[in-house]
Structure 1
Amino acid sequence: MTNKRWIGLIALLVAEAMNLLDATIVQVAAPVIHSELGGRTSDIQWFSAAYTLPFAALLITGGRLGDRYGRRRVFVLGVTAFVLTSAVCAVVSDAGLLIGARAVQGAAAALVIPQTIGLIKSSFSGGQLAKALGTIGPVMGLAGISGPLLGGLITEVSSWRAVFLVNVPLGLAVLALSRLLPESASPRPPGIDAVGTVLLTVGTALVVYPVLQSRDWVLLAVGVAVLGVCAVQQGRRSEGRLIETSLFAHRGFAPALITSTLFFAVLSGVTLVVVLHQQLTLHHSVMQSSLTLLPWSAASGVASLVAGQWLVARFGSRLMYVGLGVLVAGLAVTPYALVLGLAVGGIGVGLFTTAFFTEALHRVEPHETGSAAGLLNAVQQFGGTFGVAAFGSLFLHHPAGLDRTVWVAVAVVAVTFATAHLMRSPRWLALGRAVQEPVRTGR
C-alpha cells in the first residue's frame, strides 16, 4: 500500500510539473509559432496569456469543485481535458484556434493543480506527509529550469507542435497512475460561487484585453468596475464565497496580494521580453534564446533552495528587501551584460519568493491556509498574465527596445518595495483589526 501511495505521488508531481513546463515552453516557442501561423503581433502574447488568464480566474473554483465532488474525480477530468486540448494545440493551423485551445487548456489546468495538495494529504500522514510535501519544491524548481531549455530544444530539433505533444504521453501516464490515488472530498462541501467566478473571469479578461491588444481604456475601466462589483458581491455573500473575506482581517494580506501581482508581472514580463529581444531583434534561434534564460532560471532555483534551507530562518521577512534589491541590480545590468544581469536577477527572484510566501502566509489561521494559498496562487497567475500583456506590448508596439522595457520593470520593482513594506507595517495591523471586528460581530 505504501509503495502505491508513492507511485500515486509521482502522478501528482508530473501533473504539477506539466503545468509549469507548458507555460514556460510555450513562452520560448511563441515567436516561432507566430512566424508559422501568422496573425497579429499581439498573438505572441496571447499564446501565453490565453492559458494563464482562465487558469488564474478558475483556480479557486477548481479547488472548490474537488472539495465538493471528489478530488481524484476532478483531477482525472482536468488531466483528460488537458491532454485533449494539448493534442488540439499541436494540430491547429490558425492562430485564433490555437489561442482558443490554450484558453480551454488553462481552464483544465485549473481543475488539476488545486487537487494535488489535498490528494497528498489524503494519501500520507505524519512524517511521510512532510516528506511527500517536501518533494513539490524540488520538482517545480527542476521544471522551471528545464522548461525554457526543453522549449528551445524541442522546437529546434522538431517543431513547435511537438511542444504541445509532449503533454500527451505525460498526461496519459498520469491518468494511468491516478487509479492509485485515494478519493477524497471535504466533509463539509463548500458552495460553488458561480456568480463570483463569472464576475472575476469577465473582470480580469476586460482588464487584460485592452492592455494586450485594443488600447481601449474605456474597456479597461469597465473591467475594473466589474472587479469592484465582484468585491462587493463577495463581501455580501454569507457562505460559499469565492474569496474568503476574513483573510483581509490579517495584517499584511491585502498588500501581499498587490506585491504578488506586481512582482510576478515583472517576472513573466521580463522573461517574455528577453525571448522577444533574442528572436526578433537579434535574430537568434529559439535554442539560443532558451539558453540565454538558463542563468535566470538556474540562479532562481539555487537561491530559492538556499533561502528556504538557511536564510529565511535567520533573516526572516527582511530577506524580501534583499531579494528585490538584488533583482533591481540584475535588471540594471541586463541591457549591458545580458547573461550576467539575468543571473544576478535570478538570485534576487529566488531570495524574494521564498521569504515572501513565508511572510504572506505565516499569520493566516490554520483553517484559512488553503484559501490564502489558493488566492495567492491565483493572483500570481493574474500578475504574470498582466506582465506578459503590459511588457510585451511595450516592447512590440512601441520603439522601447530592451533597455527602456527593463527600466520600466525597475520602476515596478520599486513600487513592490513599498507594498512589501506595507505587509509588515503596524498601520496595517490596526486596519486589520478594524476589518476583523465587523466580521466577528456580523455587521
Structure 2
Amino acid sequence: MERYVRLRWLGLVFISIAVSLIIVDSTIVNVAIPAIVEDLGITSTEVQWVQESYTLVFASLLLVFGSLADRFGRRRVMLIGVVVFALSSVFAALSPDGGMLILARLAQGVGGAMILPTTLSIINATFRGRERGIAFAVWGSTIGGMAAVGPLLGGWLTTAYSWRWAFGINIPLGIIIVIGVLLTVAESRSDRISRVDVVGAALSIVAMGSLVFGLIEGRTYGWWLIDTRPQIGDWVWPWELSPIPLLFAVAVIAVIGFIVWGRHRERAGKSTLLALRLFSISSFRNGNIAAAVVSLGEFGIILALPLWLQFVLGFEAVQTGLLLLALAGGSFLASGVAGASSGKIAPVWVVRVGLIAEIVGVAGVGFMIGPDASWGPLIPFLFVYGLGVGLATAQLTGVVLAEVPVADSGAASGTQSTSRQIGAALGVAVLGTVLFTSTAGILATSLDERGVPAAQRDQIVSAVVDSAGAAISGLEANAATADAAEDAKAAFSEGTRYAAWTAAGFLALGLLATVSLGSATVRARPEEAEV
C-alpha cells in the first residue's frame, strides 16, 4: 500500500488517461459524423442516436456502477469498464450500417459508465486536503482538454484514413490504461457492504430512456398529435395522440417512483442506488443542480458545430479538428490556473468565472456563424469557451464532493457524474432538436418565397434535415437546385446559431444556479487534513 501512496500522482496520470478514453471517443465521433453519414447513409435521427445511444446508457448506468464499485472494488470495476469500452470500439469500427454502429455505441456506454464514476471515487479516496483540489483540477481539465484534442485526432484519422480508425484508437489507449492502473493505483472499496438496489436501477433507466427518447424522436412522431406513426413489425400506432407525451409522463412517474422507493429503503436501513441522504449536504445538492444545467449547455453545441463547419463551410474533418484545437488551448491554460488557485480562491468563484467565459465564448461563436463565415473570428471565442470549460469543470467537481464522506465517494461521484451526463444527454437532444427543427422551418420558408412547389419543397427540406446537412453538397452540384443549396446553407447556419445561443442560455441558468453555492471557500474536513 505504501508503494501506491508514493505512486499516487503517477496513478492520477493513468486515471486521467482513462477519462480521456471516454471524452476523446465522444468528441472524435462528433467530427467523424459527417463521414459516417456519407459512408453509411444514416439519417439525422440516427445521427442523434449515434450520440445519444452512448450517452443514454452512460447516464442511466452511472449510479449502478458507482454503487457496484463501492462494493466490489473501484479499481476492478474501472478496469472491466476499460476492457468493455475497448472491445465495443472494435465492433463500432467494423459496423456495416447505422444500426450496428448504434448497438456498438450502446456497449461503449456500458464501459464508459463503469469508468467515469470510479475515476472520481478513486481520486476522492486517494487524495486529501489541498492535494485533492489539485487532483480534481487535473481530472476536470483533462475533460476540457480532451474535448478539444479529440476532434483534432478524429479529424486527422477520418481525413487521412477512415472514420473507422477513429474508434480503433481506443485499443492502444485501453492497453496503456490497464497496465498503468494495475501498477500504480491501489484497490479501494466501501466498508459498508450491502445488496444493490435493483428496483432503483430499473426505475432510473426507465426515467432516462423515456426522457431522452422523447426529446430526440419528438420532431419525428409529433410533440402532441401524431405526425409519423411508429411501427414495430406489423403493428402500427393506432391513436392520434403522439407517443411522445406518454413517454414524458412515464419519465415523470419513474422519477417520482425512484425517489419514493429510495426513501423507503433508507427508512428501512437498506442501501439505495442514489444516496438521498447526501442531498442534505448543501454543497452536494446545489452543486449537482448546477452541474446538470452547465453540462446541458456545454456538450450540446459540440454536436452542431462540426456539422456546420463541414457541410456548410466545406471544411475537411482534419480542418474542423484544427479549428476546435483552440478549445484545447483554453482548457490546458485553465488546468494551470485551476491548480494554482486550489486552496487560495473559493472554488465556487472559479466556477463562476469559468461559466462567464463559457457564455461569452459560445454566444460569440453564435454571432460569428453564417453561410459565408470565415474561421479566423471563431478562434478567440472558442479559446475563451475552452478556458471556461476547464475552469468550471475542474472546480465544480471539487465543490460537489468536498463535504462528502470518503465511504460514500462512489455513490457521490456516481451521482454527480449522472447529473453531468443527464445534462449532456439533454443538451444533445434539446440542441439537436433546435438545430434540425429551426433548419427545417427556415428552409421551408425560404423555398416558399422562391415559389418552389410544395412537393419539391418538402423533398428538399427532408433531404437536408434527414442527412444532417450532408445533402447540401449534392444540391449545390446540381444547377437546377443550386439556389436551394444556398437557402439550405443559410438555414443550417441559422439553426446552428440558434443552437449556440440556446447553449449560452442554459449556461446562464447554470451561472444563476451557483448563487445557491454561497461564496466561502470549501474547507477540508478534519479527517482530510493535508498529508
Structure 1 regions of 5+ residues with no counterpart? 427-443
CA contact (8 A) 1:5 1:123 kept: no
Cα separation, partners in 2 of 1:126 and 1:251, compared to 1, 3 Å: closer
Q: Write out per-residue CA displacement over residues 241-280 of structure 1, whole angstroms, 9 at most, x where no aligned residue.
A: 0111112212253332222111111111112221121122
Greater Cα offset, 377-386 or 42-51:
42-51
Cα separation, partners in 2 of 1:311 and 1:113, compared to 1, 3 Å: closer
User: How large is the RMSD of aligned CA atoms in angstroms?
Assistant: 3.2
Partners of 1:347 and 1:178 in 2: how far apart?
A: 29
Cα separation, partners in 2 of 1:190 and 1:20, compared to 1, 3 Å: farther
Counterpart of 1:422?
Answer: 516
CA contact (8 A) 2:349 2:519 kept: no
Cα separation, partners in 2 of 1:312 and 1:407, compared to 1, 3 Å: farther
The one of 417, 423, 428 aligned to 1:377: 417
Alignment of 1:273-352 (within 5 A): 273-310=304-341, 313-314=344-345, 316-334=347-365, 335-336=367-368, 337-352=377-392
Q: Write out per-residue CA displacement over residues 83-109 of structure 1, whole angstroms, 9 at most, x where no aligned residue.
A: 221111111111011111111111022
Alignment of 1:58-97 (within 5 A): 58-97=61-100
Q: Aligned pair 1:46/2:49, yes or no? A: yes
Q: Aligned pair 1:190/2:218, yes or no? A: no
SS of 1:314 mapped into structure 2 = coil
Cα separation, partners in 2 of 1:286 and 1:329, compared to 1, 3 Å: same
Counterpart of 1:218?
Answer: 246
Partners of 1:266 and 1:237 in 2: how far apart?
A: 34
Q: Write out per-residue CA displacement over residues 325-360 of structure 1, whole angstroms, 9 at most, x where no aligned residue.
A: 332222332122322222222223333334433433
Counterpart of 2:208?
Answer: 204
Alignment of 1:254-273 (within 5 A): 254-273=285-304
Cα separation, partners in 2 of 1:133 and 1:377, compared to 1, 3 Å: closer
Alignment TM-score, normalising by the size of structure 2: 0.72
Counterpart of 2:277?
Answer: 246
1:162 deviates by: 0.4
Counterpart of 1:430?
Answer: none
Partners of 1:358 and 1:75 in 2: how far apart?
A: 21
Alignment TM-score, normalising by the size of structure 1: 0.85
CA contact (8 A) 2:145 2:390 kept: no
1:394 deviates by: 1.2
Counterpart of 1:433?
Answer: none
Partners of 2:506 and 2:196 in 1: how far apart?
A: 35
The total of aligned residue pairs comes to: 426
Partners of 2:282 and 2:29 in 1: how far apart?
A: 38
CA contact (8 A) 1:304 1:353 kept: no
Cα separation, partners in 2 of 1:202 and 1:349, compared to 1, 3 Å: same
Q: Write out per-residue CA displacement over residues 138-177 of structure 1, whole angstroms, 9 at most, x where no aligned residue.
A: 6555533421111111111110100111112222344455
Greater Cα offset, 196-205 or 70-79:
70-79
Counterpart of 2:36?
Answer: 33
1:229 deviates by: 1.3
Amino acid at match of 1:407: W
Alignment of 1:98-109 (within 5 A): 98-109=101-112
Greater percentage in helix: 1
CA contact (8 A) 1:296 1:345 kept: yes
Amino acid at match of 2:85: F
SS of 2:345 mapped into structure 1 = helix
Partners of 1:398 and 1:412 in 2: how far apart?
A: 18
Q: Aligned pair 1:389/2:429, yes or no? A: yes
Cα separation, partners in 2 of 1:182 and 1:307, compared to 1, 3 Å: closer
Partners of 1:174 and 1:348 in 2: how far apart?
A: 28
Partners of 2:79 and 2:384 in 1: how far apart?
A: 40
Amino acid at match of 1:403: R
1:124 deviates by: 9.0
Counterpart of 2:445?
Answer: none
1:74 deviates by: 3.0
CA contact (8 A) 1:333 1:341 kept: yes
Structure 2 regions of 5+ residues with no counterpart? 220-243, 369-376, 440-493, 521-531
Amino acid at match of 2:354: G
CA contact (8 A) 2:287 2:517 kept: yes
Identity of aligned residues (%): 32
Q: Write out per-residue CA displacement over residues 208-250 of structure 1, whole angstroms, 9 at most, x where no aligned residue.
A: 1121123423312321221221121111112210111112212
Amino acid at match of 2:260: V
Partners of 1:119 and 1:414 in 2: how far apart?
A: 32
CA contact (8 A) 1:12 1:174 kept: yes
The one of 378, 381, 393 aligned to 1:353: 393
CA contact (8 A) 2:138 2:339 kept: no
CA contact (8 A) 2:136 2:398 kept: no
Cα separation, partners in 2 of 1:62 and 1:289, compared to 1, 3 Å: same
CA contact (8 A) 1:312 1:319 kept: no
1:388 deviates by: 0.9
Structure number with larger C-alpha Rg? 2
